[in-house]
Amino acid sequence: MAESKVSPLAPEGFPNLLPVPGVEMGAMHAGFRKRERPDLLFAVMSEGSVAAGVFTRSKAPAAPVDWCRDALLKSGGKVRALIVNAGNANAFTGEKGMKATVKSVETAAAIVDCAPEEVLACSTGVIGVPLNGDLFERPLKAIKDGMSGSMWREAAGAIMTTDTYPKGSCRVATVEGRPAVISGIAKGSGMIAPDMATMLGFVFTNAALTHGCLQKMLADATDRTFNSITVDGDTSTNDTCIAVATGAGAAYDPIDDPDDPRLADFRAKFDEVMTDLAQLIVRDGEGATKFVAITIEGAEDDAAARVIGKSVANSPLVKTAIAGEDPNWGRLVAAVGKAGEAAERDALQIWIGGQHVAKAGCVHPRYSEPVAAEHMKGQNIDIRIDVGVGEGTATVWTCDLTYDYIRINADYRS
């Protein structure tokens, strides 16, 4: 497949991610993908680190997903290493797939000197192609010899598939009067319709947290961020988001309650990192030229609002109208109506770019289509819909659907 040009919605450059005490990493080309570019990430965490994970709800999960779920249970959340390969999803590969995963984690565990269940493994790429577990040993040893705490851009680049740019975010929170760095990377461009998506996300911090506390925080944040994005309505076999807390340098005992007031600033900054990463994935949607925020109000509850928002965001008719810069608000009405959640037709209201388009179930008397069309010409599209039945709200982020999406996916395996 030919290299994709960088998304027009990409940030100006990769951000400055601060080292996280207790975390070192490295990356290199190991031969998992056809092109000669880094395709293996290896990260090592200090003793005492804990991890949490959220995973795809696909009924056909990849072998590494099964491994990570079981490993977190067996280890009680203890973690010493993370390995990620790109170019091969190791999904739908039968018994060979799990054997390859086990071989990779056993190799990493021997290098780090830890139990295999303290190694988490992720894969991304083509489905159905057996993964060669023998490819891990030499590059993992080479990466271990050259690790540092500052190789974030290299790490983010090594996990990309059809991504056009590496994705990262960083914040510094205060816990018990001490700084807690939160640095994260992610990959994703297509097959993005979480729960979750062909998305990998890894967030690291030196805050001192228990496994249970971190798991609850990650699950809650994922629901508000990665589970509120969609590119194409397709859910992957490999979605994984892992958070790691090393506790390195913390002068307090690990905090067990995510609602502990001492974590207020940390929770806010953690959510900001997760939001950044989620939105960066949408901005790199395959073929995307528009970043779209869809806010639903007046639903029965927040869950219903999200379902309606996803119905709008995943509608090919809505997404192609946005690509064509056509403010065809009738397609928004149709997408709300098909969502299967309560909505009051004669109370429905719509705004595009802040302009009141529809009110009381019909077009607003002062609606100006040229004004709406001008908004649609921009890169950032704002749509707000009130369905008139309750207090539920949700925001979903998506992108437009262009000819390039078809080109990229028709050519994915070549």
DSSP string for 266-322: HHHHHHHHHHHHHHHHHHT-TT---EEEEEEEEESSHHHHHHHHHHHHT-HHHHHHH
Q: 186: closest CA among 195, 174, 199?
A: 199
17 domain residue, yes or no: no
Q: Which of 93, 164, 198, 205 is catalytic?
A: 198
pTM here is 0.92
Task: Report whether pLDDT(193) > 50.
Answer: no
219 and 320 share a domain?
A: no
Task: Report whether pLDDT(156) > 90.
Answer: yes
pLDDT at 127: 87
pLDDT digits (tens, 9 = 90+) for 232-247: 655 567 889 999 999 9
> What is the rounded average pLDDT of the residues 169-178?
97
Size of the chain, expressed as the number of residues it contains: 414
Confidence of residue 148 (pLDDT cuts 50, 70, 90): very high
Q: Which of 261, 283, 305 is the last residue of a domain?
A: 283
Task: Report whether pLDDT(320) > 70.
Answer: yes
15 domain residue, yes or no: no
User: 286 labelled as ligand-binding?
Assistant: yes
Domain count, the chain: 2
pLDDT at 2: 47
User: 222 labelled as ligand-binding?
Assistant: no
244 close to 118: Cβ distance less than 8 angstroms:
no
10 domain residue, yes or no: no
% of the chain exceeding 90 in pLDDT:
83
9 domain residue, yes or no: no
pLDDT at 57: 81
7 domain residue, yes or no: no
User: 368 labelled as ligand-binding?
Assistant: no
Domain of 118: which CATH number?
3.60.70.12
Separation CA 246–CA 73 (nearest Å) = 18
> Please, what is the average pLDDT of the chain?
92
pLDDT at 1: 43
74 and 132 share a domain?
A: yes
> Is 295 marked active-site?
no
191 and 100 share a domain?
A: yes
Provide the 3-class DSSP secondary structure of residue 339. Answer: coil
pLDDT digits (tens, 9 = 90+) for 63-81: 999 999 999 999 999 999 9
pLDDT digits (tens, 9 = 90+) for 19-64: 999 999 999 999 998 778 899 999 999 999 999 999 988 888 899 9
pLDDT at 13: 95
Task: Report whether pLDDT(285) > 90.
Answer: no
Confidence of residue 192 (pLDDT cuts 50, 70, 90): very low
> What is the rounded average pLDDT of the residues 155-170?
95
92 and 124 share a domain?
A: yes
71 close to 51: Cβ distance less than 8 angstroms:
no
User: 187 labelled as ligand-binding?
Assistant: yes
User: 414 labelled as ligand-binding?
Assistant: yes
257 and 144 share a domain?
A: yes
272 domain residue, yes or no: yes
pLDDT at 191: 47
Q: Compute, in degrees rounded to 10, the torsion defined by CA atoms 396, 192, 155, 244.
A: 60
pLDDT digits (tens, 9 = 90+) for 115-144: 999 999 999 988 899 999 999 999 999 999
